[in-house]
Amino acid sequence: MTSEATPVDRMHTNNIGCGEGERRTGPETVMGSYLRPTSMPEALAALAAGPRIVLAGGTDYYPTRVGRPPEDDLLDITAIGALSGIVESDAGWRIGAAASWTDVIEAPLPPLFDGLKAAAREVGGVQIQNTGTIAGNLCNASPAADGIPNLLALDATVHLASAGGERAVPIAGFVLGNRRTARRGDEMVTAITIPRPRNPARSVFLKLGGRRYLVISIVMVGAVAEFAEDGTIATARLAVGACSAAAVRLPALEAALAGKRPDGALVTEAHLAPLAPIDDVRAPAAYRRDAALTLLRRAVEALR
């Protein structure tokens, strides 16, 4: 294999973090190995050989390990050219597993992607947007992941590969709960695909947090609508995040909007039945439910 390994590959240390004149004693810390393959076969062979943490931007992985060396075996996929970029075809769009939030912001995409672009601008600061990836946000599977409601509303499909073959999983079947996905240990996400809508479409993304920037969501809504020639909604897809263990779509609301012109008054509390908000440090469950209702009404109005 031509993968790159850092000089600290499998290094041992027992002095990490010691101040001047100090020496920490105790069990040695084993730093995991680091591989940076340049092709898919190399990457998949490495995953087949044993479990590895797959990294693109690493913006979720490294901050949780500040002050201590990473003990996991890492697989950095940023040198695999086939995983980069956003490509359009007759069938739709392909977002590579190494495509960043900035790639989405700067790509010449139609109004169908306005919601995803809006979410991309909400993910951390510019440095995070330049480095973090849409696929990484998806695989991290946080209930408050900004990209997931939009991908649900876009009816996305997740493509995975292993040494044994490839498979495609609808986005709703990929994220299984808080930090849980359908990805096996020997698999990696290669791309996310978005189907081309049958009708003119537009999308929106709304997010509520404790402040305007650099904030974890209290509630967020991703919405996509396709429009008939008379201006009524032919098809609607709406998803709410941060109000359940995983973002969920609202099928009853989607059905209620079909054939109608966008009107926030069409959204009722009954449409929130699939949500299961919790009390936490950011907001109580009752507040989240009330805020979700307000954001959904605003999102439907914005689809005009």
| pLDDT reported for residue 117 | 98
Candidates 266, 241, 242; CA nearest to 255 is 266
Conformational region of residue 67, where left means phi above 0, alpha means psi within -120 to 50, and beta covers everything else: left
Candidates 288, 292, 268; CA nearest to 280 is 288
Tokens (6 digits) for 231:
């201006």
User: Which of helix, strand or coil describes residue 134?
Assistant: helix
- Mean pLDDT within 34-41: 97
Residue 29's pLDDT band, with cuts at 50, 70 and 90, is: low
CB atoms within 10 A of CB 265: 8
Integer Cα distance of 293 and 264 in angstroms: 10
| pLDDT reported for residue 25 | 42
In terms of DSSP bridges, do strands 53-55 and 74-76 run parallel, antiparallel, or are they unpaired?
parallel
Q: Is the dihedral of CA 267, 268, 274, 279 positive or negative?
A: positive
User: Which of helix, strand or coil describes residue 268?
Assistant: coil
Question: Is the model more confident about 18 or about 264?
Answer: 264
102-157 pLDDT per residue, tens:
999 999 999 999 999 999 999 989 999 999 999 999 999 999 999 999 999 999 99
- C-alpha distances in Å from residue 169, one per residue of 48, 114, 166, 231: 20, 24, 10, 32
| pLDDT reported for residue 11 | 35
8 A C-beta contact, residue 237 and residue 251: no
Using the structure block, give the residue that is written with the tokens 């809508």: 197
The burial of 185, by beta-carbon neighbours within 10 Å (0-12 exposed, 13-18 middle, 19 or more buried), is given as: exposed
- Mean pLDDT within 179-208: 97
